């Protein structure tokens, strides 16, 4: 069984435009699916993925409701677990978190670079408090983002502070901080949060990946691809190169996700 804990797709009418914009912004990345839900499902079938966690992002306050409408809609699909998203500047952000919970979504996704806030910004305290009260999982894009120049808004030093404001499960995507494994090893490993493996293939060495797993624990790692930007098989190849035990590999491939999502 394989659960991919970090994927993306978009409404059909927006998929082509969105994929082209994101690809260009990231230096011409070649996508593995065309941005639609149906093509994500096609990729999942080819890769033997049983469940995709689709992480939606409200990149501005005006689109927040529509983003969550889409998340609520696709969450009804077989093989899909959709997370919602809220924008810190939306006047009804706390009410929207209630709506996310009431409609059965299990978590929220933040991309602090796209959304224009630092993960440890004090203005986030009431939002994080509400998330904690509702028992929602929180996933953060962490580390570098190829669409943005430094400084980045969810580096390990920011996440250590953000963790103090959240009482429910937190996921630091991209092995804790994309392209900065040394900071993850120094500052985040051992703290009470999860790392996903999204876009890890080619971004860190097997030695770095193994050190993160050994120091953080295999029970806090979630297999993920960042589809459409990588395929789950690439990230599995990285993990399988590490000579992990079958037990630890199964935890990362699906058992940790089953427990976290309460499936």
Q: Where are the beta strands (DSSP E) in the chain?
A: 3-7, 51-55, 80-83, 107-110, 137-140, 170-172, 194-196, 221-222
Average pLDDT over residues 64-75: 98
> What average pLDDT does this structure show over 122-139?
98
**In this predicted structure, what is the pLDDT of residue 195?**
98
pLDDT at 44: 98
> Is 97's pLDDT higher than 90?
yes
What is the CB-side half-sphere exposure of residue 7 using CA atoms within 13 A?
Answer: 34
Average pLDDT, the chain: 97
How far is the C-alpha of 8 from the C-alpha of 6, rounded, in Å?
A: 7
**Which pLDDT does position 48 carry in this prediction?**
97
The answer for residues whose C-beta is within 8 angstroms of residue 167's C-beta and 6 or more apart is 132
pLDDT for residue 175 is more than 90: yes
* 181-225 pLDDT per residue, tens: 999 999 999 999 999 999 999 999 999 999 999 999 999 999 999
Report d(CA 53, CA 75) in Å as an integer: 9
**pTM, entire model:** 0.97
State the average pLDDT over residues 230-239: 97
Name the pLDDT band for 146 (thresholds 50, 70, 90). confident
- Predicted pLDDT of residue 231: 96
């Amino acid at each position: 069984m394989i659960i991919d804990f970090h994927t993306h797709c978009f409404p059909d009418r927006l998929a082509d435009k969105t994929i082209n914009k994101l690809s260009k912004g990231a230096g011409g990345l070649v996508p593995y699916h065309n941005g639609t839900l149906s093509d994500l499902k096609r990729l999942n079938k080819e890769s033997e993925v049983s469940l995709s966690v689709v992480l939606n992002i409200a990149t501005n306050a005006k689109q927040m409701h529509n983003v969550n409408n889409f998340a609520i809609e696709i969450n009804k699909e077989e093989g899909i677990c959709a997370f919602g998203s809220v924008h810190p500047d939306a006047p009804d952000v706390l009410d929207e978190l209630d709506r996310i919970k009431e409609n059965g979504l299990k978590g929220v996704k933040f991309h602090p670079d796209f959304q224009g806030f630092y993960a440890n910004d004090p203005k986030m305290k009431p939002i994080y408090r509400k998330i904690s009260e509702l028992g929602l999982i929180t996933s953060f894009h962490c580390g570098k983002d190829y669409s943005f120049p430094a400084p980045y808004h969810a580096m390990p030093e920011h996440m250590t502070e953000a963790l103090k404001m959240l009482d429910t499960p937190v996921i630091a995507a991209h092995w804790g901080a994309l392209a900065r494994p040394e900071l993850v090893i120094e500052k985040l490993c051992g703290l009470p949060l999860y790392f996903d493996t999204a876009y890890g293939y080619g971004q860190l060495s097997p030695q770095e990946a193994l050190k993160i797993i050994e120091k953080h624990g295999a029970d806090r790692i979630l297999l993920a691809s960042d589809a459409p930007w990588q395929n789950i098989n690439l990230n599995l190849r990285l993990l399988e190169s590490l000579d992990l035990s079958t037990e630890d590999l199964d935890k990362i491939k699906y058992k940790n996700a089953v427990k976290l999502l309460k499936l």
